[in-house]
Structure formats: C-alpha cells, structure tokens
Structure 1
Amino acid sequence: VGILAFVARYIVRLRVLSWRHLHGDDWFGIAVLVFFAALTGCKLGTYHFGANKDFTERELLKLSECQLARVELGSKLQIAAWYFYASFLWGLKAMVLFLFSRLSLPSLQRRLLHVYSVIAAVTWLVVILTISLSCRPFSRNWGTVPFPPHSCSNRTQNFYTASVLNIVTDALILSIALPLIWNLRVPFARKVALILLLCSGIFVISAAIVALLMSLLDVASTLNTNLWATREEIAGILAVNAPILKPVFHRSFWHR
C-alpha cells in the first residue's frame, strides 16, 4: 500500500509537471521511498530469522551455532531497521516542510518554518544517537550468548525517544498550518488539500501514540513491534501523499 501510494504520487506529479519541475518534497520522497523499502526488507528478514529479544537466555543456550547465527543476523536486521525507521519518519516531515515552503506564508510563519526545520533535523540526530549509543559496545545489539542487557535487546529507550520526538515534531509542523489555512492566498481547491493534510496529520499523531502504547505493552515481541510500526508508517505515507493526489479528481487531469 505504501509503495502504491508513492507510485500514484509520481504518476500524478509527472502528468501535471515534467520531471524538470518537480519540487523538493518530490525529490525527497524518492529517498523516503528507499528508506521504506529497506525498512520493509529488514522487517521481513527479522521475521524470518528471529531476533535476540524473541528468546529467553535459556532458550538461546539450547540453540545450535547455526541457529544462533540466524538469530544474530535477524538482530542485525532489526537494529538496521531502527535507522531506516527514524530516517523514514523524519523524511516524511521533510516532505511536509518542503510543501509548506512553497506556500505564501506570512513572515512569522516563515520564520517558524525555518526554526521547525532545524528542530526536525536536531531531533532526527538525537534519535540516531540514541540508537547508536544506548547499547555499548554496539555489537551487543545482536548478541545472543551471553544474553545482552535490556537496553540492547528490548531497546525501550529507542521507543520512547523516537515516539515522543516524532509526536512533538509532528505537532509543531502542523501548528504552522492550523492558524493559517483559511487566510492563505491560495485557490480554494488547494486550501481543501491543506485541510486534508492537517486532518491526516492529526490522524498520524494518533496512530503514533497508539503504536507506542501497543508496542510497549508487548515490547519483548519483535513481530508486535514491527506490525504496529508498519501501521504507523502506512498512515504517514497516505497522509503525506493524499493532498498531492487531488488532481486525479479533476476531469482536466484525464484529458491532458
């Protein structure tokens, strides 16, 4: 569904504009699509091989060397998924910020846009540093025997950091649009698209909160964590791309 949404986006954009006239959010969307594809691949690999947090220490001691090697590989894919997950979510934010940068914003909101862009970049870096530094040595992230500590297996610190900063930055970005929608000097159809973006953004924040709560209820299950993260990712993709698909509902789009 996520990939289809991106495909639909670029079909619409290339039909309305040529590739030479694509905007920053369009180009950034390609990177986000790559992150999403890599993230999905890592999740599938982790599901196939398993990860260290899916086993108890006693269960790991009973596994053969070949089985332990598979668990280590799955755990490596899971830690790689964290990097792609953070880059994917913050990439979606960058797409929205690029979209807002094309609007005729008052000077105050223009300054807020610049400030929030810096905040988004800094919070992404904080998440990446949390993933990289909260388990030392780094190789313990995929350790099996001896069993790694909680910070290297369940990684609840990653959940809290990524989820809280994700929700806060989403709220900040949406706060730019909230007081301005009806006062913007844009056509009514584009104003409707921005309202849809705002509503979908609120939905994404709600999805992120639910995903955090459901993941923490069963933090020891890689499958549960990845399933709820996937739901959040799909919601984000649909929210960011939905306003761009507006021309599909115009008769002129089909008669170009």
Structure 2
Amino acid sequence: MPTQEEVNIEGYAEYAAGMVIFVARIVSRLLLVGFQGMTWDDAFTVIAATFWTADLVILYYIGVHGSSVGQTFESADLLDDATVESFRIGDKLTFASWVCYICLIWSMKGIVLWYYDRMTLNLWQNILGYWIRWLTLATFLTAIIFQFSLCTPIERAWQVKPYPEDKCVFRKENYILYPILSIVSDIGIMAIPLPLLWQARLPIVRKLVLGGFIASGIFIIIATLLRTFYSLGSLTDLLVATQWATREYLVTAFVVSAPAIKPLFSKRLWGMHTSSTKSSSYADRYGSGGSALRSTTKSSKGPSHSVVIESQTQGESSAGKSFEMTSRGWPRKGNNPKIRLHSDASQEHIVQYPSDEEVGIHVTESYTVSSEERKSQT
C-alpha cells in the first residue's frame, strides 16, 4: 500500500506535468490564432486546470484531517470528539474531491469536443459532434446528480458518529457508474473524426500519426479502467484511489491536448521558413511561412471541386508537398470535394472547409472545365 508521502510526491509531479501540458496548449493556440481567436476548447483548458489545482489542495488537506474511510459501526463509536471533528472535515473534503474529479474529467472531454467542432466545420461530422456534445453533457449531469443523491440527506455524507453506512463513506457505486459514463462519452468522441481519417489522401506515415492522435482516446479508457479496478480492490484505502485518479488526470490531459500542441513542433510556426509572398494574413501577422491560400475561382459545371491549402516557402514550390483529404467522411456519389494540407500545418485545419475568410486561411476553389466549355468560351 502506498504511503501518504509517496502519494503526495507523485501527485505533485503529475500535477506539474499536467500544468506544463496545459500551458503548452495555450501557448500553441496563442501563437496560431492570438487571444481573440481563442475558443471554447481553450476555455475548458483553463477550467480543467482550475479543478485540478483545487483537487490537489483538497487531497492534501484530506491527508491532514483524515476521513471516515476504513471505519466501521464499532470503531466509529470509539472515536473521541476531536477525531470526529477532524474526520468530518475530511469527509466534506472527500465529497468535494469527488465533485472536482467529475468536473475535471468532463472539462477535458470538453476540450477535445470543441476542438473537433472546429475541425469538422461545415462537414456532416459536425452534426455528429453536436449530438455527441449533448450526450457528454447528459453523462456529466448524470454523474453530478448521482453524486448528490447517492447518500441522502446530504449531511450523512460527512456524518462520522454514528457511522452512516458504507455507501455514504466508501461510495463503491461511484467507482462503477462514473467509468461507464466516461467510457460511453469517450467512445462517442472518438467516433467523430474517424470517418475523416478513413477517407484521407495522406502518406501512410502521416495517416498513422493522425490515427494515433484520434485513437489515443483508448489510453483514457484504459486509465479509467485501471483506476476502477485498483480502487474497487482497495476501498478501505483512499490513497490507492487518489493515486490512480491523478494518473488518470495526467493521461487524459496529454491525450486531449496533444493535437493542439503539435504545431509547436512545426518549423513554420517558429518562422524558420519565411514566406515568399505577403498574400497570407497568417504570415503577415505572425512572420511565419504558414499555410497560404491563393484565391482563384473558375466558373464551371464540372464535377471537381477542391479546397487547396498550400505552403509558400522561399525558394521552393509547394507542388507535391500538399496532402488531400475529402471534406466528407464517407464517400458519396457525385461531387467529391477535397482538402489538401501541408504536412507541417496545424492539425486543427486538417478537415476544415472554411465558410468565410479566417485568420491565416484563404480558400482556393478550383473547378475542372470540360473540353466542350473551353471550345464555347473560345
């Protein structure tokens, strides 16, 4: 069994790593879009960091005051008044820690959900993401309601003497219901971008990397299951549950933040390649080669309609360096719009089909003109 000191040291280390991840994500977003371009996933990042900080403080004071976990009807009657009061404070903090756990885990789900909301802009997967967001909200509300209704009246949750009952102290049901709700929402979240990757026209290595980002939700599910397994096996030891909760926090923080952090490792983001043109507002604003789009449109009745995102770097052509991805997840009859993305571009725009001019994004719409039309035009 872990000691309080071991759990504290590991918790501080994992908290520090988690904050580095969150800060890196915020920095990446600021460099890409600026403060005015921040959206809901960035807000959820701040919310998640706040709840993690609160939970860390709460867990520390639970260690100071102790709790009723491990007590029985007989042992609780033998406690003196000072210990009872200390345990009462600890039990209130334990209840608050459960609330922080729920809010933190679901806040991190909000990060990736709103990230996918931008990622699938104007695609049918955006509608799927809309319903998955409602599903995730429903699972969150279910978890919160269950937390407050499992032991009623609520004061019994921090009643020490006489001993209330096991469900008010150990909350075994929490370790069963919350993982189920979390895994259901995680599976729904992973289902949003998978059809897009399936139809992506990308080099196999890049496709595997992107698939790894998307499928990394599996690691969250594994972390959740491990926490459930070890916590249920040691219900009388709150330190085991605490230890595995902080591990789950760290794994989840990394998985939901990794796609947005990836542009930090792009040479173009740091201006190592200077744009040869000034047509890109992204380059004008940040001094980076970025993803520049040339706006040209040809009227046509032809079946080909594509959005091309090309990198314009000094001294080299962007031809052959862009990738194509269909703007619909599953193949359909008729038109087959495609998006081409440079390998160093942000993952955020890998399937985005802008409906209007955005910061750093200019759309090129090209159409294939049939030979009959060329003759008629000449």
TM-score where L is the length of structure 2: 0.63
CA change 1:44–1:184 in 2 (3 A) is farther
Match of 1:123 in 2: 139
Structure 2 letter corresponding to 1:59: S
Alignment length (residue pairs): 256
User: Is the 2:190–2:215 contact (alpha carbons within 8 Å) kept by the matching residues of 1?
Assistant: no
* From 214, 227, 230, the counterpart of 1:214: 230
Query: Hey, what's the Cα distance between the residues in 1 that align with 2:198 and 2:72?
Result: 56
Q: How does 1:165-204 map to 2 (within 5 A)?
A: 165-183=181-199, 194-204=210-220
* From 255, 263, 266, the counterpart of 1:239: 255
Q: How does 1:5-16 map to 2 (within 5 A)?
A: 5-16=21-32
CA drift at 1:146:
0.5
Query: Hey, what's the Cα distance between the residues in 2 that align with 1:60 and 1:74?
Result: 14
CA drift at 1:149:
0.8
Deviates more, 1:97-106 or 1:241-250: 97-106
* From 109, 112, 131, the counterpart of 1:93: 109
User: Is the 1:196–1:243 contact (alpha carbons within 8 Å) kept by the matching residues of 2?
Assistant: no
Give the 3-state SS of the residue equivalent to 2:195 in structure 1: coil
CA drift at 1:185:
8.6
Match of 2:150 in 1: 134
1:75-127 CA deviation, whole Å, 9 max, x = no partner? 10110111111111111111111011112367542222111111111111110
1:199-221 CA deviation, whole Å, 9 max, x = no partner? 32111111111111111111222
User: Is the 1:193–1:243 contact (alpha carbons within 8 Å) kept by the matching residues of 2?
Assistant: no
CA change 1:188–1:77 in 2 (3 A) is farther
CA RMSD of aligned residues (A): 2.3
Query: Hey, what's the Cα distance between the residues in 2 that align with 1:45 and 1:190?
Result: 46
CA change 1:11–1:105 in 2 (3 A) is closer
The unaligned stretches of length 5 or more in structure 2 are 1-16, 272-286, 288-378
CA drift at 1:159:
1.5
Match of 2:315 in 1: none
What percentage of residue pairs aligned between the two structures are identical? 30
Deviates more, 1:44-53 or 1:82-91: 44-53
Structure 2 letter corresponding to 1:250: S
CA drift at 1:195:
2.6
Q: How does 1:52-71 map to 2 (within 5 A)?
A: 52-71=68-87
Query: Hey, what's the Cα distance between the residues in 1 that align with 2:201 and 2:94?
Result: 46
Query: Hey, what's the Cα distance between the residues in 2 that align with 1:193 and 1:36?
Result: 29
CA drift at 1:23:
2.0
CA drift at 1:189:
10
Deviates more, 1:195-204 or 1:56-65: 56-65
Match of 1:38 in 2: 54
TM-score where L is the length of structure 1: 0.91
1:168-221 CA deviation, whole Å, 9 max, x = no partner? 110111012223214359999996764333232111111111111111111222
The unaligned stretches of length 5 or more in structure 1 are none
User: Is the 2:157–2:169 contact (alpha carbons within 8 Å) kept by the matching residues of 1?
Assistant: yes
CA change 1:57–1:111 in 2 (3 A) is same
Match of 1:49 in 2: 65
Query: Hey, what's the Cα distance between the residues in 1 that align with 2:258 and 2:124?
Result: 27
Query: Hey, what's the Cα distance between the residues in 2 that align with 1:83 and 1:160?
Result: 16
Query: Hey, what's the Cα distance between the residues in 2 that align with 1:171 and 1:189?
Result: 24
Q: Does 1:74 find its partner at 2:90?
A: yes
Q: Does 1:143 find its partner at 2:159?
A: yes
Query: Hey, what's the Cα distance between the residues in 1 that align with 2:110 and 2:202?
Result: 22
CA drift at 1:162:
0.8
Query: Hey, what's the Cα distance between the residues in 1 that align with 2:139 and 2:157?
Result: 22
Deviates more, 1:218-227 or 1:47-56: 47-56
Match of 1:253 in 2: 269
Determine which structure has the larger helix proportion and give its number: 1
Give the 3-state SS of the residue equivalent to 1:219 in structure 2: coil
Q: Does 1:104 find its partner at 2:120?
A: yes
Structure 2 letter corresponding to 1:74: G
